[in-house]
Amino acid sequence: MKQITKTQVTVRLRKAEDRNEWYLYLEIFPVFIAGKEEPQRVREYLNRSVKTIEWDKKRVARTNLKTGVKSFKPKRDDNGVIICRGERDCETMLYADGIRKLRQKEYDNADLYNESDTLKAQLQEKQKEKFTNYCKLLLKKRHGSANSSDSIRTNWKCLIEFIVEFAGDDLRFSKIDLSFADDFKMYLLSAPYRGKKKGTLSNNTAATYFSIFKAIVSQAFIDGYFMTDLSAKIKGIGDQESFREHLSIDELNLLFNTPCDNDELRRASLFSALTGLRHCDIKRLRWKELDVQTNRIKIQFRQKKTKGVEYTPISEQAIQLCGVPRLPEQLVFENLQDSSWISRPLEKWIQAAGITKHITFHCFRHTFATLQLSLGTDIYTVSKMLGHTKVTTTQIYAKVVDELKDKAAGAIKLNTTVQKKTQEFLQSN
């Protein structure tokens, strides 16, 4: 049978030595502390004081043996709250009693439950919370700063919207289990795109959203919303290799010599093709990050997507595309539009060059990677220049190069018709 400690929490007064006021504190007894054989009396001071206490003249607290002066106990109402004359002191006493109730409940619960029971009780409370609210708080915590990637924030917001569409805004943690995860996975694989884009989500887009869902569930386990690591049991959506559209050297030169209505866009696009930098990194690139030395030009900056500090050597042609140097804190491409606004002017420029491929700004980064590998640069160097954290990410471009090589291998064909006729002639004679 479990022994009940019967700990009692009481509001007490302590007289200030130099003025006519009393400090408030909680007296807690008995408290059993590891390493102590006897029960302890614990005091918790509340950083509050009162002056207008009502004293009970019938209840003597103590008598000074030298002076014979008596002190009395304070009057308390039916609820045990110390009575004061002043309104402000009354409010202070109610505050103190509120803290007392909170502490009393904690000690009472400690008597009623063991550690496992307490954890279960806490879990039950947490599982009543709304899952989408937690998702939004986690988004703000992880990616709320200005340095976070806009695309990552957009993916998180889209995922939350898909969760609401699938299960409603009132989804509670208690409903999240393996069955829910499997059903939500199947939903994403057939869900329609949001916004103006038509059709269902691509396999890789669904995989991205579902991986964020798994990350949220994993963090929720750490934060005590699940008894087990549910995310470790959830099987993700496998990525499908997607085609990385890119430009050939001839097409790149064609673009270079094609006028563009937006010269800043033209220079930034070609700069991306020569350096492999993303749009977000080019847009925030400042002149102080360009280090021009004798026979060596480099950029040293922090990637917005991976947060890694990168050292990237660049060519003289790339630095020429930057234009006339300005103040260190000024942006190199000061008037470069956001990624959501450049699709139409970019498409117009591509069409003017006579190129029929579907080229986005990010395709210039693909172009850099593909051309570097096709020209013989080893994959590890290209991976470092792209700022990839894993070389497996860069291997996607290597497969594109292999396809080009296979195509090129069959480009040279011999005329076997003449050889065949010669063999027939020799055999007949």
Residue 166 has what pLDDT? 95
**Percent with pLDDT over 70 in the chain:** 83
pLDDT at 73 over 60: yes
Residue 428: per-residue pLDDT: 67
The predicted model gives 311-320 an average pLDDT of 81
Distance of CA 105 to the CA centre of its chain: 37
For residue 276, give both structure tokens: 């492999």
CA–CA gap between residue 199 and residue 210 (Å, rounded): 18
CB proximity list for 373: less than 8 A, separation 6 or greater: 379, 382, 397, 398, 401
Question: Residue 357 pLDDT > 60, yes or no?
Answer: yes
In sequence order, the β-bridge partners of residue 8 are: 29
DSSP 8-state secondary structure symbol assigned to residue 15: E
When the pLDDT of each residue in the chain is averaged and rounded to a whole number, the result is 84
For residue 427, pLDDT beyond 80: no
Give the phi and the psi of residue 13 in degrees, each rounded to 5: -120, 145
**What is 351-375 written as a DSSP string?**
HHTT--S---TTHHHHHHHHHHHHT
Side-chain half-sphere exposure of 61, counting CA atoms within 13 A? 12
378 DSSP assignment = -
pLDDT, mean of residues 317-337: 89
pLDDT at 173: 95
How much helix, strand and coil, in percent to the nearest 5, is found in the chain?
Answer: 50, 15, 35
What is the number of residues in the chain?
429
How many Cβ atoms are within 10 Å of 102's Cβ, its own excluded?
Answer: 11
Contact assessment for residue 127 and residue 172, using Cβ atoms and an 8 Å cutoff? yes
Q: To which H or E segment does residue 8 belong?
A: strand 8-15
Which residue bears the tokens 């069955």?
179
End-to-end CA distance of the chain: 113
CB 194 within 8 A of CB 147: no
Query: What does DSSP say about strands 22-31 and 40-50: parallel, antiparallel, or unpaired?
Result: antiparallel
Instruction: Say which amino acid occupies 217.
Output: V
Look at residue 171 in the predicted model and tell me its pLDDT: 95
DSSP codes joined into one string, 159-190: HHHHHHHHH-TT-BGGG-SHHHHHHHHHHHHH
Q: What pTM does this model have? A: 0.48
Q: What is the mean pLDDT of residues 371-392?
A: 81
User: Tens digit of pLDDT for each residue in 83-110?
Assistant: 999 999 999 999 999 999 999 998 888 7
Question: Average pLDDT in the 211-233 region?
Answer: 92
Between 143 and 298, the more confident residue is 143
Alpha-carbon distances, residue 296 vs 228, 299, 310, 319 (angstroms): 54, 10, 16, 11
C-alpha distances (whole Å) from 167 to each of 8, 217, 316 are 46, 16, 55
Which range among 5-9, 121-125, 289-293 has the greatest average pLDDT? 5-9
Token code pair at residue 370: 């593909």
Residue 308 pLDDT greater than 70, yes or no: no
CA 214 to chain CA mean position, Å = 13
242: which DSSP letter?
Answer: P
Q: Mean pLDDT across the stretch 131-136?
A: 95
Q: Please indicate whether residue 370 or residue 292 has the higher confidence score (pLDDT).
A: 370
Domain 249-409: homologous superfamily in CATH: Intergrase catalytic core (1.10.443.10)
User: In the structure encoding, which two tokens stand for residue 252, read together?
Assistant: 């790149």
